[in-house]
């Protein structure tokens, strides 16, 4: 989402690159370009002006260290200000109560119901028992959607399809959650295509009846400044506790997301990308600022990997690699784990320096489809022993997977090279060479 902003900020920083020192003239020129980049990205003009005014003051106030070029120092100052703009510190979610009640609000189409499922999965991984309440009584199939998501993540969904009183449903859900000993009740509420009085009154009534420990406002990051205006309207009525940014894998300018914290003075707590239940991250202002400036976000990448990869499965695969018995069944299992981590292009963008390299590449999880089709067309014996795959087998596999023989050959060649590399690493490790190289 922030690719265009990242490009324009990098262009702005070029003014200072190669300069021997920071001066009022080169800072003024760079600040002007940074402000333009922010407003072009749909950041609120007043917010952009306040940020760049502070950047200019800091840049002129600091002495340039001997080992730091002016351009690098300026980037650091911009990173600090972007971090502060987005809240400064990471804000956790409040799950106190017996049960803790989390009320989800937002416009229709913002991704409320999907986020409700993701939040349930997130809290369940923390060892909390969760129940969902279906209180969207207007949108067709909203209850069914929540039930499907609940089944996906393994949590109960309380619903009363015939009841058209959202407050009554929510109150009954709370009583049921207490009866069953659930520790968290997440209430999915109705949205509208636009803010209206009936909608606001209903969600206000829900908040009064439930007294939630946390009220979260879900906003579609792709709706531009309308997102900020809607957030302000909701906050005036609900006084919510935090913001959830959805659809951050979209291609809009994204600057509205940067403005919300400054306009409503409420922290961004979660960011959501895609439809997968695992694609939910706690919002870290400093990490997001680094990603916007093209510095990557390795910490979040590692955390995603830790969530997606099963420890016992990792040990099993490691043992097979050491014995040189890694086969296509194991390879497919690894692909499935990677896909759980979220959008591949988004993951690559977390690696420092990769943002520019992958910008124009069409990479998504569908890129794995031909590989999975080829592996799926192999017999169990072929997956365990790829060396037996001869010409006639390749022809059958290509026909069965809807791919070409060349694609089958390429996969077999790459897999063979990977196994050789694993074997070489194992030999080096057993002989002690790898340890010496790592010193």
DSSP strand pairing (242-246 vs 156-158): unpaired
In a domain, 59, yes or no: yes
- Of residues 273 and 245, more confidence is placed in 245
How confident is the model over 35-58, as a mean pLDDT?
79
Task: Output the domain CATH number for residue 45.
Answer: 1.20.120.140
CA distances from 59 to 17, 70, 91 (A): 14, 9, 28
User: Which residue, 337, 418, 409, 424, is CA-closest to 374?
Assistant: 409
- CB atoms near residue 394 (< 10 Å): 18
How confident is the model over 313-325, as a mean pLDDT?
70
Q: In the prediction, which pLDDT does 2 show?
A: 55
Quick one: what percent of the chain has pLDDT higher than 70? 71
Residue carrying the six token digits 């969207």? 136
Burial tier of 63 (Cβ tally within 10 Å: 0-12, 13-18, 19+)? exposed
| Whether residue 105 is found in the same domain as residue 79 | no
User: Which residue, 272, 262, 241, 257, is CA-closest to 87?
Assistant: 262
- Of residues 380 and 273, more confidence is placed in 380
β-sheet with 242-246: strand ranges across: 156-158, 130-135, 184-189, 100-105, 214-220, 242-246, 268-272, 280-282
Task: Output the domain CATH number for residue 388.
Answer: 1.10.260.30
Least confident range from 101-110, 137-146, 223-232, 334-343: namely 334-343
Position 65 pLDDT exceeds 50:
no
Q: In the prediction, which pLDDT does 19 show?
A: 53
Q: Give one DSSP letter per residue of 34-54, joined into a string.
A: HHHHHHHTT--HHHHHHHHHH
In a domain, 42, yes or no: yes
- Of residues 379 and 16, more confidence is placed in 379
Tens digits of residue pLDDT in 247-257: 775 545 556 66
Q: What whole-number distance in Å separates Cα of residue 35 and Cα of residue 225?
A: 16
Burial tier of 435 (Cβ tally within 10 Å: 0-12, 13-18, 19+)? exposed
Position 316 pLDDT exceeds 60:
yes
In a domain, 93, yes or no: no
| Whether residue 323 is found in the same domain as residue 282 | no
Q: In the prediction, which pLDDT does 435 show?
A: 47
In a domain, 90, yes or no: no
Instruction: Extract the tokens encoding 278.
Output: 């695992």
Contacts of 407 by beta carbon, 8 Å cutoff, 6+ apart: 370, 374, 398
Q: Give one DSSP letter per residue of 406-436, joined into a string.
A: HHHHHHHHHHHHHHHHHHHHHHHHHHTHHHH
| Whether residue 187 is found in the same domain as residue 233 | yes
| Whether residue 386 is found in the same domain as residue 248 | no
In a domain, 36, yes or no: yes
Q: What whole-number distance in Å separates Cα of residue 335 and Cα of residue 340?
A: 9
Q: In the prediction, which pLDDT does 277 show?
A: 82
DSSP strand pairing (268-272 vs 280-282): antiparallel
Task: Name the β-bridge partners of 184.
Answer: 100, 130
| Whether residue 165 is found in the same domain as residue 213 | yes
Q: In the prediction, which pLDDT does 394 show?
A: 93
| Whether residue 117 is found in the same domain as residue 264 | yes
Count: domains in the chain: 3
| Whether residue 263 is found in the same domain as residue 312 | no
Which of 57, 85, 113 corresponds to the end of one domain? Answer: 85
Q: Report the chain's mean pLDDT, rounded to a whole number.
A: 77
Tens digits of residue pLDDT in 72-102: 667 777 778 788 887 777 788 888 888 999 9
Q: In the prediction, which pLDDT does 246 show?
A: 83
| Residues 164, 137 contacting (CB under 8 angstroms) | yes
Position 132 pLDDT exceeds 50:
yes
DSSP strand pairing (100-105 vs 280-282): unpaired
In a domain, 225, yes or no: yes
Position 309 pLDDT exceeds 60:
no
170 upstream amide cis, omega within 30 of 0 = no
Q: In the prediction, which pLDDT does 250 show?
A: 53
Position 399 pLDDT exceeds 90:
yes
| Whether residue 9 is found in the same domain as residue 120 | no
| Whether residue 331 is found in the same domain as residue 356 | yes
| Whether residue 258 is found in the same domain as residue 208 | yes
Burial tier of 388 (Cβ tally within 10 Å: 0-12, 13-18, 19+)? exposed
- Of residues 427 and 330, more confidence is placed in 330
Of the CA atoms within 13 Å of residue 69, those in its CB half-sphere come to: 11
- Structural element, H or E, at residue 139: none
Q: In the prediction, which pLDDT does 364 show?
A: 57
Position 297 pLDDT exceeds 90:
no
In a domain, 95, yes or no: no
| Whether residue 176 is found in the same domain as residue 126 | yes
Q: Which domain holds residue 113?
A: 100-295
- Of residues 368 and 144, more confidence is placed in 144
Task: Name the β-bridge partners of 186.
Answer: 102, 132
Which of 269, 295, 321 corresponds to the end of one domain? Answer: 295
Q: In the prediction, which pLDDT does 420 show?
A: 78
Given pLDDT bands bounded at 50, 70 and 90, which one contains residue 404? very high
How confident is the model over 365-378, as a mean pLDDT?
83
In a domain, 94, yes or no: no
Judged by phi (left if over 0) then psi (alpha if -120 to 50, else beta), residue 141 lies in left
Buried b (16+ CB within 10 A) or exposed e, 345-364: bbbbbbeeeebeebeeeeee
How confident is the model over 213-230, as a mean pLDDT?
80
Instruction: Extract the tokens encoding 121.
Output: 């999965």
Position 424 pLDDT exceeds 80:
no
Q: In the prediction, which pLDDT does 17 show?
A: 56
Tens digits of residue pLDDT in 109-118: 788 888 999 9
Task: Output the domain CATH number for residue 229.
Answer: 3.40.50.300
Which of 295, 317, 336 corresponds to the end of one domain? Answer: 295
Q: What is the DSSP letter of 103?
A: E
Position 169 pLDDT exceeds 70:
yes
| Residues 294, 6 contacting (CB under 8 angstroms) | yes
Position 398 pLDDT exceeds 90:
yes
| Whether residue 227 is found in the same domain as residue 346 | no
Least confident range from 29-33, 126-130, 251-255: namely 251-255
Position 34 pLDDT exceeds 90:
no
């Amino acid at each position: 989402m922030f690719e265009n902003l990242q490009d324009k900020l990098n262009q702005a920083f070029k003014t200072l690159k190669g300069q021997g020192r920071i001066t009022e003239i080169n800072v003024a020129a760079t600040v002007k370009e940074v402000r333009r980049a922010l407003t072009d990205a749909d950041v609120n003009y007043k917010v952009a002006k306040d940020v760049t005014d502070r950047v200019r003051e800091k840049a002129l106030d600091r002495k340039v260290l001997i080992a730091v070029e002016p351009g690098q120092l300026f980037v650091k100052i911009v990173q600090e200000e972007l971090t502060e703009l987005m809240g400064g510190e990471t804000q956790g979610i409040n799950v106190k109560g017996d049960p803790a009640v989390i009320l989800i609000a937002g416009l229709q189409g913002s991704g409320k119901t999907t986020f409700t499922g993701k939040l349930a999965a997130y809290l369940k991984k923390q060892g909390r028992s969760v129940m969902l309440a279906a209180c969207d009584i207007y949108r067709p199939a909203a209850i069914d959607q929540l039930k499907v998501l609940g089944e996906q993540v393994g949590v109960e969904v309380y619903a009363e399809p015939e009841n058209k009183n959202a407050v009554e449903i929510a109150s009954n859900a709370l009583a049921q959650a207490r009866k069953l000993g659930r520790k968290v009740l997440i209430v999915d509420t109705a949205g509208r295509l636009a803010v209206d009085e009936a909608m606001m009154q209903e969600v206000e009534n829900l908040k009064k009846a439930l007294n939630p420990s946390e009220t979260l406002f879900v906003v579609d990051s792709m709706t531009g400044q309308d997102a900020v205006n809607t957030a302000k309207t909701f906050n005036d009525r609900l006084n919510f506790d935090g913001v959830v940014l959805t659809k951050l894998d979209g291609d809009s300018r994204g600057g509205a997301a940067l403005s919300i914290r400054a306009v409503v003075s409420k922290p961004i707590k979660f960011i959501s990308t895609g439809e997968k239940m695992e694609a939910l991250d706690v919002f870290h202002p400093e990490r997001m600022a680094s990603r916007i400036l093209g510095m990557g976000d390795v910490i979040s990448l590692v955390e995603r990997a830790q969530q997606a990869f099963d420890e016992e499965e990792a040990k099993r695969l490691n043992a097979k690699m050491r014995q040189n018995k890694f086969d296509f069944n194991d390879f497919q299992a690894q692909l499935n784990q990677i896909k759980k981590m979220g959008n591949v292009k988004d993951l690559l963008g977390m690696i420092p320096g990769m943002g520019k390299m992958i910008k124009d590449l069409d990479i998504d999880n569908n890129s794995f489809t031909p590989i999975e089709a080829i592996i799926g067309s192999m017999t169990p014996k072929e997956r365990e022993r790829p060396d037996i795959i001869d010409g006639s087998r390749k022809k059958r596999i290509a026909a069965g997977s809807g791919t070409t023989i060349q694609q089958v050959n390429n996969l077999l060649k790459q897999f063979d090279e990977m196994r050789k590399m694993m074997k070489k690493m194992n030999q080096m490790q057993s002989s002690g060479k790898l340890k010496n190289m790592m010193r």
